[in-house]
Amino acid sequence: MMLSERLQAVCALCPHGECLVDIGTDHGYVPVTLVEEGVVNRAVAMDVRKGPLSRAAASVREAGLTDRISLRLSDGLDGLQAGEADVVLIAGMGGPLTVRILAAGEEKLSDVKALVLQPQSEIGDVRRYLSMHGWRILRENMVLEDGKYYPMMEAERGQEPLSRLQLQYGPRLLEERHPVLLQYLRHEERTLLMVLKKLKELEKTSDEDRSLETEGPQDVDKDGGREKKETERAGAERRAARTAQVQMALELNKRAQGGDVR
């Protein structure tokens, strides 16, 4: 069974345990691999859809692991019994959905010793949730696959307040000056600088348009003129807010590239 680089990295973050539950298992490749390699003794593969679950069932049968991997139709952690698993894996889902699953299933996590998470988006929100709910990020990794960057983490029980920089880019990735993180930061910096340049060009064009209007004939339609000015002002405010946001992101980026882990 050939795993993608992303899934290989996810498997490498999984600690040894008795039972792993894989939320959103899809083809079931991860639990099959982890049981075959002896990382966990048994696993529960769960998915909210019947299609992926049937594909996972085929993978489990092909591997001859039907006695060690059970399959369940479940929305998040709903199908898990409290105390049943000691490792929870959620990979390939958006950050908000990952947080929702963890929050809704908090009672099911009482005996869980480790979380392995690979959110596809809003990873800062996931790190914030962990920090606020008694989880400490133990290890992180980041891979580049098919032009996309995939950060991932293993969390254990513990307390660790995180700075804004750590929430954005990951405390362990920053500490290690992870090479893929540095590559991502350089890529992000180029993107942010391009956005900033376009925002400045838009502001310059807007200023020139206002100057021409002042020099030209006055608009006799007071209501129409007022509405136009309000629209222009709202546009200017949006550009200013976006410019400030981009500049702040650039500042965080530079600090991260410089090795600041605070």
Q: Is residue 177 part of a domain?
A: no
Mean pLDDT of 233-240: 73
Contact in structure between 196 and 243 (CB atoms under 8 Å): yes
Q: Is residue 173 part of a domain?
A: no
Q: Is residue 168 part of a domain?
A: no
Query: Torsion-angle region of residue 78: left (phi > 0), alpha (psi -120 to 50) or beta?
Result: alpha
| Counted domains in the chain | 2
Q: Specify the higher pLDDT residue, 104 or 224.
A: 104
Q: Model confidence at 85, in pLDDT bands (50, 70, 90)?
A: very high
Q: Are residues 35 and 116 in the same domain?
A: yes
Mean pLDDT of 225-247: 71
Q: Is residue 166 part of a domain?
A: no
Q: Are residues 131 and 231 in the same domain?
A: no
At residue 88, the pLDDT reads 97
Q: Are residues 244 and 212 in the same domain?
A: yes
Q: Pick from 160, 163, 145: which is nearest to 252 by CA?
A: 163
Query: Torsion-angle region of residue 28: left (phi > 0), alpha (psi -120 to 50) or beta?
Result: left
At residue 205, the pLDDT reads 72
Mean pLDDT of 85-93: 96
The domain in which residue 153 lies consists of 5-161
> In this structure, what DSSP letter does residue 74 have?
-
Model confidence pLDDT, tens digit, residues 113-155: 999 999 999 999 999 999 999 999 999 999 999 999 999 999 9
Mean pLDDT of 47-52: 93
CA 207 to chain centre: 38
Q: Are residues 9 and 97 in the same domain?
A: yes
Q: Are residues 147 and 43 in the same domain?
A: yes
Is residue 217 predicted with pLDDT exceeding 60?
no
The CATH number linked to 64 is: 3.40.50.150
Q: Can you give the three-state secondary structure of 217-240, one letter per residue? A: CCCCCHHHHHHHHHHHHHHHHHHH
Contact in structure between 99 and 108 (CB atoms under 8 Å): no
At residue 54, the pLDDT reads 94
Mean pLDDT of 56-68: 96
Handedness of CA 55, 61, 62, 68 (dihedral sign): positive
Q: Are residues 145 and 191 in the same domain?
A: no
Mean pLDDT of 216-236: 63
